[in-house]
């Protein structure tokens, strides 16, 4: 605490794993004055309100709108940012303060510790570890030397009815980004596109 009774943020830490805990927003309460809120605390507040109101993610994303439900939920869980008009809608829906609304508009420190411990998230990690080499070989054979963007990207999640148990269908589409072969000489490809 400082001399004025307000909490003081800790200095930025060198470990990137510790940095998310250092993102503060100050909120005002009538009894205590200003208190610091971290981004993960805002996420918990949003989840508490969601539980209290009995809202589904579909109801929330339909109300906020504006972009893919995956991105809206990701932002409310602290992994994405909401553009200003959508942060305003989310703040109105959840009854958030102006400072909390601004926090929803900040670019977050993304990611979670690896390997994941949640069973559902771990299955995706396992899926990549097991199938990643085949995906890499097939994508490179079709497109060339590069990557699939996870930024110029979209994803849909669907439920497929099945007599043996409903199935989860996830469709991902990302722009192919070829590696740049810098320092290339005359007649040598500049980018890692598929060669004829």
Give the tokens for residue 57: 């993610």
Of the residues 8, 149, 173, 190, only one is catalytic, namely 149
Active site residue 30: no
Of the residues 44, 126, 167, 190, only one is catalytic, namely 126
Q: Where do we find the tokens 């998230």? A: 121
Give the tokens for residue 71: 């991105």
Q: For residue 12, give the DSSP letter.
A: P
Active site residue 149: yes
Describe the crossing of helices 69-76 and 57-64 by its angle, rounded to 10 degrees: 100
SS3 state at 98: helix
Q: What is the Cβ-side half-sphere exposure of residue 181, based on CA atoms within 13 angstroms?
A: 12
SS3 state at 28: strand
Give the tokens for residue 104: 């929803």
Helices and strands per DSSP (H, E), number in the chain: 6, 4
Of the residues 123, 167, 173, 190, only one is catalytic, namely 123
Active site residue 190: no
d(CA 189, CA 182): 9
Active site residues: 123, 126, 149
């Amino acid at each position: 605490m400082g001399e004025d009774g307000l909490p003081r943020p800790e200095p930025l830490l060198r470990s990137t794993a510790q940095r998310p805990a250092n993102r503060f927003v100050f909120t005002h309460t009538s009894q205590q004055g200003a208190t610091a809120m971290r981004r993960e605390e805002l996420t918990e507040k949003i989840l508490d309100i969601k539980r209290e109101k009995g809202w589904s993610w579909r109801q929330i994303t339909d109300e906020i709108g504006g972009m893919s439900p995956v991105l809206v939920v990701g932002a409310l869980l602290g992994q994405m940012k909401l553009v200003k008009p959508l942060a305003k809608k989310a703040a109105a829906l959840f009854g958030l303060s102006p400072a909390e609304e601004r926090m929803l508009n900040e670019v977050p420190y993304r990611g979670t510790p690896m390997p994941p411990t949640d069973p559902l998230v771990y299955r995706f990690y396992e899926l990549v570890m097991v199938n990643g080499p085949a995906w890499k070989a097939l994508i490179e054979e079709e497109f060339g030397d590069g990557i699939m963007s996870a930024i110029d990207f979209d994803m849909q999640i669907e439920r497929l009815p099945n007599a043996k148990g409903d199935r989860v269908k996830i469709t991902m589409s990302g722009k192919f980004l070829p590696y740049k072969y810098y320092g290339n000489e005359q007649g040598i490809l500049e980018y890692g596109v598929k060669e004829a």
